[in-house]
Structures are given as structure tokens and as C-alpha cells.
Structure 1
Amino acid sequence: MDRFLYIAMSGAKENLYAQSINNHNLANADTHGFRQALADAYTAPVRGPVYPSRDYVQVGNEAIDFTPGPLQSTGRDLDVAVRGEGFIAVQAADGGEAYTRAGNLHVDSVGILRTERGLPVLGDGGPIAVPPFESILIGTDGTITVRPQGAAPNTLAAVERIRLVKPDTDNLMRTDDGLIRAKDGQPVPPDADVQVVTGMLEGSNVNTVAALTRLMELSRHFEMQVKMMDTADSLEQTSNQLLGIS
């Protein structure tokens, strides 16, 4: 069998992988703070006793585009957007530390500050607990200030500060739960240079027009690979017929 068939098959296989990445990005075009994934592939030359004229396709590690998304004004006191680079530290479901740009926060029934997904937001001393309050304000440095329930209008109390971090993006990866984590598994120390904007949320950095255009391109590439496999099969049948002539 002509190895050309395997070349085309590897291209179609990795093309399907790229389509799944692109579809995942499109599905999260409206997810706050989402960072689109980039399908990384490279050629792997075939080496052997024949002339090295063929290359397979191999998939590299999934890359993340850390370009900031657009800011959307909400006017809500517990909505925050990270300005520039940086992340909000949260506690993942497995108890580990993770990072997010989604700043649509809320206080649950027992006073724990959580993300929209229900993950506890971390401060310098662990998950942030907020006492009953009449009003709440989050400063640019992440400091949470409240007017305690029943207190005078001019009585304010600083509760805790949201841990804002700015890790090296080369040391970050996205795990199966959709959260960003450090590859080495070590907690990232807070960074005083990271600031947040209150009353705003960051949108996804997925460009839907570009993603839809990419989807059509990938579909055409996949069809081309399938046609190449059909051509390889046709050539194989022709060769068999010629060899069968006595």
C-alpha cells in the first residue's frame, strides 16, 4: 500500500483535532474571562531507505492566547475585571490553587466570596469570608471594604484583599476543569502591580468572525485530505489491476 494514504490520514486526523479546538473556542465566545486555545501542529519528516520527501503531521502542546478580552460595564459592586496582565487566585474543586479572569463574584449564604462557578476566591489567608454587610466595595488593589450590617453610614471596615497574581505565562496551562494553573504546581505569590476595575467584567478574547472563518478553512482542509485518501485508494486499485495483468 502506498504510504501516501497514511500521510493524508495523519493530516485529516490532526485537522479534526484543530476543529475541536476551534469549536471549543466558539462555544466559549460569551464566557467571561475566557482565553482561547491555539492548535499547535508541526511536520515530522519520514526517514528511511527512500528519498525523504514525505512529512507526517504531529500535534504539539495546546497553547493559550493570553490577549486580554474587551471590558464590559455592569455597574455591579461585586463585578471586577483585571486590568492588563494578571489573574484572580481561586480554590479549585480539588482544593488546589488555580487562576481565573472571570470576575463576576458573589457572596454565598455563609459569607464566602465565590466566583460564578462557585469557586472560593483566595485572599492572603485563604478563602475570603465576608461578614454581613449593608454595602461592599472592592478597591483597585483588590481590598474588600464593607459597611457592616446595622452600622452607621460612615463606618467602614476592611475585610480582606483578593490575591491578585501575575505569573509567567510560559509556566501556565489549562486543565480539564477549564481553569488556569501553574505547570510546576507551586502557588504564585501576590503581585502588587496587578489592579482590578470595579463594576466591569472582561469578555472572552475569542474573535467569533475569525473563528467562523477558521472553521470553514478547517472544513475545506479536511475535505481535501479525504480526497487525497480517495486518490491514494484509487491509485492502489489501479496498481493492483496492472500487477494482475498476465
Structure 2
Amino acid sequence: MDKLIYTAMTSGKHTMAQMDTVSHNLANISTDGFRAQLDSFRAVPVLSTDLPVQTFVVDATVATNFDQGVTHTTDRTLDVSVQGHGWLVVEDANGKEAYTRAGSLKTDQNGVLQTQRGLNVLSDSGAITLPPDETITISKDGTISSIPIGNKVANGTIVGQLKLVNPPENTLVRGDDGLFRAKDGTVADADINVTVLSGSIENSNVNPVESLVNMITLARMFDMHIQLLTDAQTDDAKASTIMALS
């Protein structure tokens, strides 16, 4: 009885947590470069000399789906999508390096290259400043060049290069701000094998149909856990009645 109660109770709690994760994924369907979060759970025994038969459910894995999302063309100069594995490097709110796949970029009033959230996009030497009133191109390796508007003869002037990295995915952790960082706090070196495609954006890799089906399944699982608790209460009442009669 104790095993049933503890397992159903904790499993119901974590099922609600998993529904929150699925809801979070669905809410980010339209977020560029978003990586879906994955959860799984397992039952473990309660370490106790008094009630050794009790078990409860705990988070076994909080992981990320790193599959690439669908890329769509925007024909906008400052839009880039990372091809295959790899990341853009940005400066987070604490001034440290973090990684993102959101490649819809812009410039602030000072010409500093930023994400749509206002985070500075970094090169190996720091923030990148683009000259005003010039045509900007971004090549496959992340090199940023500028050409004076209307000048079709002059060669492009290199003004910076995106820092592109590809740390092992199993060493990354997602922060509360949605950015990824190394678990040990180290900074990844630039990887020349990482490439970008200018004029395109990578969509979120969340599968809306799969997520909706998963949410329905989780709702049914939660109902099952509540029913198990109800059955345990009923069985306990019956057992108490039988004990009183005997």
C-alpha cells in the first residue's frame, strides 16, 4: 500500500512538471533556433529502516533535443542560420559568453551587432560594430564585410567575423535565460568547421503535433495517478473494516 501511495503521489507531481515542460516547448514553437527540452523519470526506493517498501519517482533526465530545426529563407542580410552542429556566441547579461542558435540579428543605435533580444554577438575579439550606410554581407565562415551603398566596384572591407563554436552537446546546459553554456563554465574555442547561411533563419525544432499528443498522454497519466490514490484510500477503508470485524 505504501509503495502504491508514494509512487502514485510523486509520479503525479512529476507528471505535472513534465506537462509544464511540454507547455514551455509549445510556447516556443515560433522562437528562432529554440531547442526542445526533454524530461524522463524513474522510480527509486525510499532509504528507510522503518518503511523499506516505499518508493517514489524522481527526475532521471532533464535533457535537450539538439536536432536541427527547419531553415526558411528571409533574404534579410543580417539573418543567419547555423548549418548542422554549432552555435553563435553572444554576451549574456553578466558579460560572459553564451551560445544560441537564434540568428535573427540587428544593430543598435551605435552599430553594435546584436540578437533581437539585445545581446551582443561576439567575435574572437569581442563585440562587432558595423559601419553605417553600407551594404553588409556575411559569408559562409561568418566573415562580415561591408561595401559602400551604390559602389558596385569596390571590394568588400572585412569588419569582423562571427565566433562560431561547436562544444560537445553533452557538456552544455540550458540557463534560465534560454542560452546554453558549458557545465564547467569553460569557454569554447572557435571552430572553423561550423558554417552559417546568410539570409535565412532556423525555426524551433519543437514538433507541435508530437507535443500536443504528449500533453494529452500526460493528462491521462495524471488522471490515472489520482485514480490510484483513490483506489488506495478505498482499499485502506475496506481493510480497516475487515480488521475491525475480526
Shorter-chain TM-score tier: over 0.9
Equivalent position of 1:116 in the other structure? 116
Task: Using the TM superposition, give the Cα deviation of residue 147 of structure 1 relative to its aligned residue in structure 2, in angstroms.
Answer: 1.6
Counterpart of 1:114, as a letter, is: Q
Residue 44 of structure 1 is matched in structure 2 by 44
What is the SS of the residue equivalent to 1:66? coil
2:94 aligns with 94
| 1:190 matches 2:190 | yes
Which residue in 1 is equivalent to 2:128? 128
Report Cα offsets for 1:104-124 as digits up to 9, x if no partner.
001111010000111000001
1:191-226 deviation digits (Å, cap 9, x = unpaired):
000000011100010000000000000000000000
When residues 173 and 44 of structure 1 are mapped into structure 2, their CA distance, relative to the original with a 3 A threshold, is same
Stretch deviating more after TM superposition (222-231 or 58-67): 58-67
**TM-score (normalizing by structure 2):** 0.93
In 2, Cα distance between equivalents of 1:141 and 1:2: 60
Instruction: Give the C-alpha shift of residue 183 in structure 1.
Output: 0.7
Distance (Å, rounded) in 2 between the aligned partners of 1:142 and 1:235: 66
> Residue 240 of structure 2 aligns to which amino acid in structure 1?
N
Which residue pairs with 1:154 in the alignment?
153
What letter corresponds to residue 169 of structure 1 in structure 2?
Answer: E
Unaligned runs of 5+ in 1: none
Counterparts of residues 18-37 of structure 1 (less than 5 Å): 18-37=18-37
CA RMSD of aligned residues (A): 2.0
* Residue in 2 that maps onto 1:179: 179
What is the alpha-carbon distance in structure 2 between the residues aligned to residue 6 and residue 144 of structure 1?
58
Gaps of at least 5 residues in structure 2 are none
Summarize deviations over 1:160-197 as a string: whole Å, max 9, x none.
00000011001101011111111111110000000000
Alpha-carbon distance in structure 2 between the residues aligned to 1:148 and 1:160: 16
- Hey, which bits of structure 1, 4+ residues long, moved more than 6 A? 47-54
Q: Distance in 2 between matches of 1:166 and 1:49?
A: 48
Q: Distance in 1 between matches of 2:129 and 2:57?
A: 50
Alpha-carbon contact 1:89-1:163 (below 8 Å) kept: yes
Q: Matched residues in 2 for 1:69 and 1:49: separation?
A: 50
Q: Identical aligned pairs, as a percentage?
A: 39
Displacement of 1:52 after TM fit? Answer: 7.9
Aligned length: 245
